[in-house]
Amino acid sequence: MSLPAEILARDVPADLTSMSASQLSAAIRQRHVTCVEVMQAYLARIHRYNPTYNAIVSMVDDDTLIKQAALADRALDNDEYWGWMHGMPQAIKDDANVEGFPTSHGSPIFAGTIATEDDLLVARIRRQGPIFIGKTNLPEFGMGSQSYNPVHGVTGSAYDPRLTAGGSSGGAACGLATHMLAVANGGDLMGSLRNPGAFNNVVGFRPTQGRVPDSRGSDLFYQQMGTGGPMGRNTEDTARLLVTIAGQAPSQPLSLRDKLPDVSEFKATALRGLRIGWLGDFDGYLPMEPGVIELCEASLGSLGQHGVSVEPCLPEFDMARLWQTWLTLRHWTRHAMRSLYDDPDTRKLLKPEAVWEIEGAFATSAQTVYEAGIARADWFEELNRLFQDYDLLVLPTAQVFPFDKSIHWPQEIDGVAMDTYHRWMEVVIGGTLAGLPVCNVAAGFDGQGRPMGMQVMGPFGDDKGVLEFAMAYEAITDHLDRRPVLRETGI
């Protein structure tokens, strides 16, 4: 992987945590800053703000981390360069195994369980030389787009810690937006990279299915809906981490064989002549909190000044059928949790939503799974038809703005009752079921200062193209420049 572009010593800010991951990487490589200085700066920021936002959990003690940073500096003194993340503080989402760290999954069932080896994604990150400082918070078992759990508590949005950070990669997104992390990993089954990206005004990217192999599951063939992915304060950092964690794995038969180019080959796409299909709320099918659609359309409108054609479009598909497909396949994946349900001692420790998910798995017959598979294929083909007319498809990232973090999930949207704990996130299932690359890009803020994002979907396998559009979009908008006013104590 190529190194980040050089940075001049005079361009290094006094606050090292304000640098992007790529800038920080260059500053460390060129010895403008030491790894100890970087670690001290991040630890000071974490101790100052994390008690309020609760993004990073299971922290390593400061003395140990400073010693590890000093070792990273000595390695550079000896011309040993570990990779583009050399000596950078890094926290991993708490559903992934990092050797020697606890993996709680946000569940009291697994609290205190120490990982004996790295997961594949973590191993790929480790090869680039970061210093693991802790884990990032998530919902229990990653279920739901609200990062609360009985082990570590709830994570607040960087823009208002009274509101939810989203999920399931809520700790990762909040950690980025509060500058307690430079770059972060996450996972996405039902918008878990996209929704917290929107709720914290950062970039969250769901790769094409198979782009980032997952070594954690025992089913190598059928349950292909979730994926790991990167998050960043900007698109360049997101792309850099994607290239780090992506790539075919011999142990994963459905991992993609093609290789992403070096991050240096990612360039902002030329906007003039680009055709975008605006899916919106699927012609009124999806209830939306007032202001979501208007905010997204206003931001999309700025593209017209740069020669981009944005047209409303609608899939020729029964969206109720798509939701039923989602329910069937989502429940089906929960057969893996049957042992936790069957044991009375562990069942009582599961949140009600997890019990509902597992019980729903009992009703998934071979016929319903088969029918869901056919519907999923039909949906994929319908989006391919739309891609004959449009280069990209765009829709809101969430149906509501960040809400009170004391609420587990919205009971209604604009007067429409939500019949499941995740119905309020129905807007994200299209990208998941089609296995497409989807990037959350910032859409701006409502009158209360709550952030929102848009999902940008590209054809299967075109991860680079989607990120290159995000780079171009980022260059002509200023949404990511609006930083949160952080709170130290009390909310």
**Which residues are known to be catalytic?**
93, 168, 192
Residues 6+ apart with CB under 8 A from 219: 336
Instruction: Return the bridge partners of 310, or none.
Output: 276
The pair of structure tokens assigned to 148 is 């609360």
Number of neighbours of residue 148 by Cβ within 10 angstroms: 24
Question: What are the backbone dihedrals phi and psi of residue 312, each rounded to the nearest 5 degrees, phi first?
Answer: -65, 140
- Residue 269 · residue 472 · CB < 8 Å: yes
The count of residues in the chain is: 491
Give 44's contacts (C-beta < 8 A, 6+ positions apart): none
Determine the Cα–Cα distance for residues 64 and 398; give it in Å rounded to an integer.
40
- The DSSP call for residue 258 is S
Tokens of 4: 């980040």
Which residues, other chains included, contact 148 with Cβ-Cβ below 8 Å and sequence gap of 6+? 139, 140, 154, 155, 164, 405, 408
Q: Cα 332 to chain center, whole Å?
A: 23
Burial class (CB in 10 A: 0-12, 13-18, 19+), 64: exposed
